C-alpha cells in the first residue's frame, strides 16, 4: 500500500443525513457499526492483533463547502485505521481553531495514537449526534479505496459524529472501506 500516493486533504463534499431521518441505511451488521456510539478504535481493536493509525496528513485548511459553516479554517486530521496492515477506515476530523488553541498539546501530540484515546478517556469531550452518508463508486473516496488495492463494488458508507468540548464542536467522519465491510459481514456470519 503506497500511502504517500494519497493527496492530503482527501475529504470530499458529501450530503450527510441525520441517522434518525435517513430513509436509507445499509443492512445489518454495517448499520450497527455506523450507529455505534462508543470508541470505534476500541471496537476495531477486538477484530485484529495489530491496530495501526496511518496519518495521511494534518494541518490548518478551509473546510469543504458546507462541511463546517462559519469556520474560515479548521485543523484537519486524516488517517487510515489499519487492522493487521489492512486499511479498514478512512477518518477525517475537523477541529475549530479555538478548540485547537485550547487543546493544542493534546491534538498535536497525538501522532499515530488514535484520537479516540483522547476523546473517550476524558469527560471533557461529549459525543453528540451521528449523521450518515453513502459514497458512490465514482467518488474520490472510492478512488482512495481503489488506490489501497480494495475494489469498490457498491457504494461506501460513512458516518459523521459531533463531539462537544465546552462551547466548541469538533466533527469526526469515518468511512468504512470495502475490506471493513467484508470483514464485518464475515464476523457476523461466524456468530
Ligand X SMILES: C=C(O[C@@H]1C=C(C(=O)O)C=C[C@H]1O)C(=O)O
Cβ-based neighbours of 6, under 8 Å, separated by 6 or more? 56, 144, 147
92 is in an annotated binding site: no
* Closer residue to ligand X (CB): 138 or 158: 158
d(CA 132, CA 7): 24
Residue 59 CB, nearest approach to ligand X (Å): 13
140 is in an annotated binding site: no
Residue 112 CB, nearest approach to ligand X (Å): 8
Q: Are 96 and 36 in contact (CB under 8 A)?
A: no
* Closer residue to ligand X (CB): 41 or 139: 41
* Closer residue to ligand X (CB): 93 or 150: 93
The closest alpha carbon to 177, from 52, 53, 85, 87, belongs to 87
Residue 27 CB, nearest approach to ligand X (Å): 22
Pairing state of beta strands 51-61 and 156-165? unpaired
174 is in an annotated binding site: yes
> Which residues of the shown chain bind ligand X in the complex (CB under 6 A)?
39-41, 53, 77, 79, 81, 89, 91, 93, 114-116, 119, 172, 174
Cβ-in-10-Å burial (0-12, 13-18, 19+) of 20 comes to exposed
* Closer residue to ligand X (CB): 112 or 189: 112
Residue nearest to ligand X (CB): 116
As annotated, the binding site includes 77, 115, 174
Amino acid at each position: 500500500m503506497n500511502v504517500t500516493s494519497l493527496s492530503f486533504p482527501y475529504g470530499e463534499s458529501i450530503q450527510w443525513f441525520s441517522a434518525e431521518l435517513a430513509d436509507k441505511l445499509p443492512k445489518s451488521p454495517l448499520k450497527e457499526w455506523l450507529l455505534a456510539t462508543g470508541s470505534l478504535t476500541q471496537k476495531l481493536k477486538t477484530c485484529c492483533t495489530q491496530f495501526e493509525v496511518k496519518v495521511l496528513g494534518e494541518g490548518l485548511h478551509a473546510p469543504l463547502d458546507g462541511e463546517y459553516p462559519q469556520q474560515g479554517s479548521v485543523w484537519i486530521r486524516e488517517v487510515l485505521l489499519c487492522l493487521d496492515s489492512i486499511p479498514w477506515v478512512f477518518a477525517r476530523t475537523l477541529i475549530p481553531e479555538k478548540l485547537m488553541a485550547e487543546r493544542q498539546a493534546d491534538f498535536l501530540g497525538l501522532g499515530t495514537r488514535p484520537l479516540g484515546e483522547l476523546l473517550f478517556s476524558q469527560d471533557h469531550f461529549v459525543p453528540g449526534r451521528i449523521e450518515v452518508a453513502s459514497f458512490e463508486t465514482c467518488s474520490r473516496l472510492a478512488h482512495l479505496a481503489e488506490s489501497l488495492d480494495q475494489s469498490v463494488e457498491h457504494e461506501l458508507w460513512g458516518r459523521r459524529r459531533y463531539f462537544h468540548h465546552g462551547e466548541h464542536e469538533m466533527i469526526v467522519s469515518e468511512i468504512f472501506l470495502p475490506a471493513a465491510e467484508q470483514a464485518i459481514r464475515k464476523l457476523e456470519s461466524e456468530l
